[in-house]
Structure 1
Amino acid sequence: PIFYMVSCAHPSHLFQTLEKAGAKGEKWLDRFKGFRTNASCKSHEELDNSTVLDRGDILELSVALKKMHAEYNLRIVGGCCGTDHEHIQAISRCISDVSDSPDTQ
């Protein structure tokens, strides 16, 4: 493959795996270039059993994606379950440093 992406997960579900792969010098990590994030940090099981959409913490999500973008040189960043235009705008602003604290209003 040219590159790998992860979709339908929250950054908090992925950081430990990425850190372990980096410590082991895993070659695939060089080709990890994209992430489509879920808004919620809840597990898939918790979300499946939920009766209310969990939008997560937009600022926390944006900061986590900025960290992931910087540490792993991501080329594709987007939203998946639970995200909307407010999440994408905040993520974009945070990653591009347009705003130190993304406007999520």
Structure 2
Amino acid sequence: MTSFVITRLSNEVLFEIFKCLNSYYKTLFSCLLVNRKWCRIIVPILWRAPCFKYRRVIRMCFLELNADEQALLVLFKINLPENNPMPLFEHVSFIISVNN
């Protein structure tokens, strides 16, 4: 019965619920693995103000670059591993601020 009620909640209601958990990163990471709907709702919340290491944020930014843009990084001796899949989301577009 509980899962039936949860699946019927609208995206807006789920967004408000998950937004209340925005400081519980581990919980949100676990929740985004539940299904695609939850993942699409939670990723923007997690990336609104990423609290994890800057290195991860910068790496994600680099992965979102196209091949020509990534090639320009070689001039700065920044080499990305080959065959990296494109991220499923444009994570950078969700960032409002970066906390440490």
Larger Rg: 2
Which structure has more strand as a fraction of its residues? 1
Asked if Structure 1 and Structure 2 have the same fold, meaning a TM-score greater than 0.5 normalized by the shorter chain, the answer is no
* TM-score of the superposed pair, with normalisation by structure 2: 0.31
Which structure has more helix as a fraction of its residues? 2
* TM-score of the superposed pair, with normalisation by structure 1: 0.30
